[in-house]
Structure 1
């Protein structure tokens, strides 16, 4: 990572409306388009360009934002088609070139690579299905695509959509404090991050739901995790197939234990201290420190 200058332009002056992000030394532009303002986007010259786009929708039952990745030689026209045919999305991120230099070959490769990288990061619920075969791309264009993707990923994260960023600090090779959830048939490990709680791949949970949550939202939540392949039945347990971000420690505990749970108390570090003790309870004041004036 290195320092960078990013500028965000508000075409209508509304921070909740359309936003245009650029890194000042790059040729890539990302335009965030609320679905309600699609007609305004269609008036921009970028709407007729070759581009890659990301449709974002409300979270699914497992708490993941729904995502569809696509490309087009006329990105505005394609978004108009999706406006008629796809119900789930409420905003789009459109990646184009400031110099209008993207080709269809660039776009096809960027679409394929973006789907693969988004699936690897596992932050969003991909609506694409099969990611398809890797398109043939000459090496010089492929090198261009990786630079474009890197810039687009930074701009998208700046706009609040870190589609390609690793879920865990451990994935970024940083030292992290791990927490463990044991009991009620669970044997899980994870870490608390600024975005929620990440349960690590290989964590194990109980198969059955306790009677008190059967037929209720927590049961449907766990069923959705199984349906999406986040949890699979293996050797008499439900096993996490990948690192997975839950929006709260309690959701992470429920996923593994099959019952209502307070994750702040269920997750404990290697010393046996609860997540609440480590992360939420105020640090005691130093008795030797002077009283404030």
Structure 2
């Protein structure tokens, strides 16, 4: 499941005048309300009426190795006691996001459903590791309640990327830009979505740029053996090991194969994983005419 792609508006209220402090975020014409704050402010914000309501929440903070974020998904009836418990017992998190319904219309089963769905989405996306020790199953809901919670979930998923959280995003389908249509009637040098390939060391991969990063397509290949230079970057080694452990990269005879579309933070991060070496993705990825990503982007920047 992915968030709705229809345009929408968010209202962000900076409650204490500090843009990095407490923020109340609402989606226009929707019931979802988010309470966003850094961990250090919990003693001051725990009296907020939103935290006295039943809701679902996220805790985010750096991973122990310092490479990327760690995520915890929880629910509370109400939220406040759960956050107070995590404040005392969980060290990793540095910020929290709580979601409640305007008017306080959610019950325990509702937020258990949301928690289970969010955990399942994060596990499927495999973008951020989870601190959760258990993976709960969805509770039974009436047909009407289930429908309402799916709409509420869709609103949450639409708000989270704006709040800097991408852990639940599934890779969007690749568009077919006019640049790939012969004789399209106009010269399009480059645009996001243009299919690029990376072929070397006996493997071949295909990918494209998107708003989520550089996406390597399902079925692409990656080398099995990495270079000594690659091993000098512990973060990259750990990332590769995670992709293998999570089933994003699966063994396929003499190489690895991508079992799903996967978004990397940059073209270089993508080609590093494909080739098992330190690369410049802007020169490694090429279009169907052999033009590098760097050449395409430089040519595009000169267009009027």
Residue of structure 2 in register with 1:225 after alignment:
243
1:19-38 → structure 2 map (5 Å cutoff): 19-38=23-42
Runs of 5+ consecutive residues of structure 2 not aligned to the other structure: 178-192
Please report the TM-score for the alignment, with normalisation by the length of structure 1: 0.87
RMSD, aligned CA: 2.4
* Alignment counterpart, residue 226 of structure 2, candidates 203, 209, 233: 209
* Cα distance change of structure 1 residues 161 and 211 upon mapping to structure 2, 3 Å threshold: closer
Runs of 5+ consecutive residues of structure 1 not aligned to the other structure: 287-293
* Alignment counterpart, residue 265 of structure 2, candidates 247, 269, 291: 247
* Cα distance change of structure 1 residues 198 and 53 upon mapping to structure 2, 3 Å threshold: same
1:56-205 → structure 2 map (5 Å cutoff): 56-58=60-62, 65-128=69-132, 131-170=135-174, 175=177, 176-205=193-222
- C-alpha contact 1:123 1:167 (8 A) present in aligned 2: no
Shift of 1:135: 1.7
Please report the TM-score for the alignment, with normalisation by the length of structure 2: 0.84
Partner secondary structure for residue 177 of structure 1: coil
- C-alpha contact 1:68 1:126 (8 A) present in aligned 2: yes
* Cα distance change of structure 1 residues 36 and 112 upon mapping to structure 2, 3 Å threshold: same
Residue of structure 1 in register with 2:57 after alignment:
53
Please say which of residues 43-52 and 222-231 is displaced more in the overlay: 222-231
Which digits, 9 at most, give the CA deviation of each residue in 1:162-215, with x for residues without a partner? Answer: 444432342xx6653111111023311111123431112221111111233335
**Count of matched residue pairs:** 284
* Cα distance change of structure 1 residues 86 and 200 upon mapping to structure 2, 3 Å threshold: farther
Residue of structure 2 in register with 1:17 after alignment:
21
* Cα distance change of structure 1 residues 118 and 280 upon mapping to structure 2, 3 Å threshold: farther
- C-alpha contact 2:126 2:246 (8 A) present in aligned 1: no
Partner secondary structure for residue 128 of structure 1: coil
Q: Distance in 2 between matches of 1:52 and 1:240?
A: 32
Residue of structure 2 in register with 1:264 after alignment:
282
Partner secondary structure for residue 89 of structure 1: coil
Residue of structure 2 in register with 1:290 after alignment:
none
- C-alpha contact 2:56 2:114 (8 A) present in aligned 1: yes
Residue of structure 2 in register with 1:276 after alignment:
294
